[in-house]
Structure 1
Amino acid sequence: MSASPTGRGLLLLHNPRSGTSVVRADPMPEIRRRLPDAAIAELGDRSIDEVVTAALGDDDPPAVLGILGGDGSVSRVAHLARGHGLPLLVLPGGTFNHFARAAGLETVTDALDAFAAGTSRAVAVAELRIDDGEPITVLNAASVGAYPELLAQREKRTSLGKWWGGAVAAWRELHDAHRITVVRGGRRAVAWSVFVGVGVDDPRRIARMQRAGLDDPTLDARLHHARGTRLRAVTSLAFGRRTIAVLRALRLMPPASDLERILVDDIDLTVRTGEAPAVYVHDGELEEAPADEFRIRMRAVPEGLRVFARR
């Protein structure tokens, strides 16, 4: 069974906590008008896993999973869609919407148009394992080092909001950023950060937040060796093209000699956090690592997920 253009067969999850730092019109009236037959579930106190598991146990289970939320919610629903062999409808409802934008879905209307037209396609994803844990679906990128540490600082200041909390966290990182040790294939490096993104992207960037395309089953890893200052460690986390251009013009970005790029199908790293918090990030979601030394394994999966996207 497949979902109809009016939403019959679609389970759409709505995370109302996503995108709270961005002022935008409520998309739900348009969604309900164009998808009158969809089952729409607001997460509230229920987790994504609980809602999907209950729906799949019904006599009339969904044929398509959908999510209105940010990259973290999209990534989790994508993992469940892959596990149950269902296509995914992504409605951008977060702050940055990195994966939706890579799929050409700048607005909720774009996503609804793609769903109505039935234009789905297979896309490459990645699977991430921490030590011997279960695989985690990654749509955009995973990271250790300065970026997870920055998010951990921001999480302590949630009362300030995402933007002000991030600004204060960045200021703290200028003084407190920690180096980490990364081991790959017996080779040891001291680094400020490591980003591993899905698909080949602009080699001048360090922070991999949004993938460049949907098809490329390559892991593009960026290792920022800790040879420079904390200032450069923090400015390297910029991911807007204009911001990067300005910082590069001011010579605040790390030189090319401090950066190492690795293009592979899979990667295996041992991370020793030392004095840094034992955390990592995947698709913008901050996670605690099991110890201050842990293993990260990540592999690309060609055509690992089917999503509705613009032609």
Structure 2
Amino acid sequence: MPPTPTVLAATGRGLFIVRNAQSGTAVIRSDPAALFAERLPEAVVRELGEDDDLDTIVEEVMEADAAPDVLGVYGGDGSVSRMAQLARRYGRPLLVLPGGTFNHFAGSAGLTDVATAIDAFQAGTTIEVSAVEVSAVEETAADGTAILALNAVSVGAYPELIDERERHRPRLGKWLGGVVAAQHALREAEPLVIVRDGRRARVWSVFVGVGRNDPRRVATMQRAHLEEPVLDVRIHHARGTRLRAIASLAFGRRTAAVLRALRLMPPRSDVERLVVSEFELTVRPGPGHPSVFVHDGELEEEPGDEFRLRCVAVPRAVTVFVPPREA
């Protein structure tokens, strides 16, 4: 992997940043353009338009005579994971510049804002981050193309909530669309059927997170560790109410603590936990429910009435700039 000399990092020479203008539109955030110009004047910044393809943009720049030494991305978790897959493909370190709504991965990496991320880049401190490769195919088909995810993969209540939110998003926006989707889920959510190791189960949701996480959580959407190459699986069996099914999707510590105090979170006996290196299941959503799954906030829809989902932990998947560790 090409080194990143401090003298070049100080100006951003050799750094190629893709900025996703569509990320983080649900929150108020200052434009990073001035900060890029001030602290990374020699970096190349490319705006990702609505019709642009990230893979094509990066492929073109990597095939140029002066290919970049570092790939950077300003955006949310979906953009970060897509760029991580490309950084892995081309053997380049990744600079994560938080610009989304939740920034789960950036938060886990200690990259609280763009200035902190630039500090980490210029300090040259990196870490080898583990990830999960997920592939989904129709039950009768061969293995599908693997997608790299940095936080978690999920089926069940959460993907259906995201699917419903996206239906309302063009008219209502992300936040209000999410409120409407949650109200719909409280009325209409139904368990789905999964088959694992020949055993059939009715569940509200399945979360496959990267690295061990808080054992009290169901929705492991923000990872607790960056290097550990294991999958922490949470299977929420359908023994409780819809309200508990939706409450279990809370990922913020404070929100989850409040819901736990109000006895709205599912009891531990309803949540099966596995810590494994690989995980595979067949998903059967049932009539009237979409065949969907989510990876790092990105919704994927599968054809047919059922599909097979395979997740594999990947150690040292990508090198990421992080703040220096305290002595």
Q: Per the shorter chain, which TM-score range?
A: over 0.9
AA matched with 1:163: W
Residue in structure 2 matching 1:14, options 19, 24, 34: 19
Alignment deviations for residues 78-113 of structure 1 (CA, whole Å, 9 cap, x no partner): 001111111100000000000011111001011000
Q: CA deviation at 1:26?
A: 1.2
Alignment deviations for residues 146-195 of structure 1 (CA, whole Å, 9 cap, x no partner): 00000011001112111111011000000111211111111111001000
Partners of 2:44 and 2:145 lie apart in 1 by 29
Alignment deviations for residues 228-278 of structure 1 (CA, whole Å, 9 cap, x no partner): 111111111111111111111111111111110011011011111113211
Residue in structure 2 matching 1:180, options 187, 192, 195: 192
Aligned to 1:238: 250
- Secondary structure, aligned partner of 1:170: helix
Work out whether 1:278 is the aligned partner of 2:291.
yes
Aligned to 2:132: 126
Q: CA deviation at 1:2?
A: 3.8
Work out whether 1:150 is the aligned partner of 2:161.
yes
Residue in structure 2 matching 1:302, options 305, 315, 318: 315
Work out whether 1:28 is the aligned partner of 2:33.
yes
Q: CA deviation at 1:50?
A: 1.5
Gaps of 5+ in 2: 138-142
Partners of 2:161 and 2:168 lie apart in 1 by 11
Q: CA deviation at 1:290?
A: 2.7
Partners of 1:82 and 1:154 lie apart in 2 by 31
Aligned to 1:76: 82
Contact 1:181 1:271 (8 Å CA) reproduced: yes
Aligned to 2:226: 214
Aligned to 1:90: 96
Work out whether 1:115 is the aligned partner of 2:128.
no
Q: CA deviation at 1:289?
A: 1.4
AA matched with 1:197: G
Aligned to 2:180: 168
Residue in structure 2 matching 1:189, options 181, 201, 220: 201
- Secondary structure, aligned partner of 1:182: strand
- Secondary structure, aligned partner of 2:173: helix
Q: CA deviation at 1:292?
A: 2.1
- Secondary structure, aligned partner of 1:156: helix
Partners of 1:206 and 1:174 lie apart in 2 by 18
Partners of 1:203 and 1:29 lie apart in 2 by 42
Partners of 2:95 and 2:83 lie apart in 1 by 10
Work out whether 1:293 is the aligned partner of 2:306.
yes
Partners of 2:280 and 2:211 lie apart in 1 by 17
Contact 1:2 1:9 (8 Å CA) reproduced: no
**TM-score of the superposed pair, with normalisation by structure 2:** 0.93
Aligned to 1:259: 271
Gaps of 5+ in 1: none
Partners of 1:200 and 1:56 lie apart in 2 by 35
Q: CA deviation at 1:206?
A: 0.4
Q: CA deviation at 1:76?
A: 0.3
Work out whether 1:200 is the aligned partner of 2:212.
yes
Aligned to 2:140: none
Aligned length: 311
**TM-score of the superposed pair, with normalisation by structure 1:** 0.98
AA matched with 1:149: E
Aligned to 2:67: 61
Q: CA deviation at 1:302?
A: 1.1
AA matched with 1:195: F
AA matched with 1:302: P
Partners of 2:75 and 2:102 lie apart in 1 by 10
Alignment deviations for residues 179-222 of structure 1 (CA, whole Å, 9 cap, x no partner): 11111111111001000000000010001110001011110000
Partners of 1:108 and 1:290 lie apart in 2 by 39
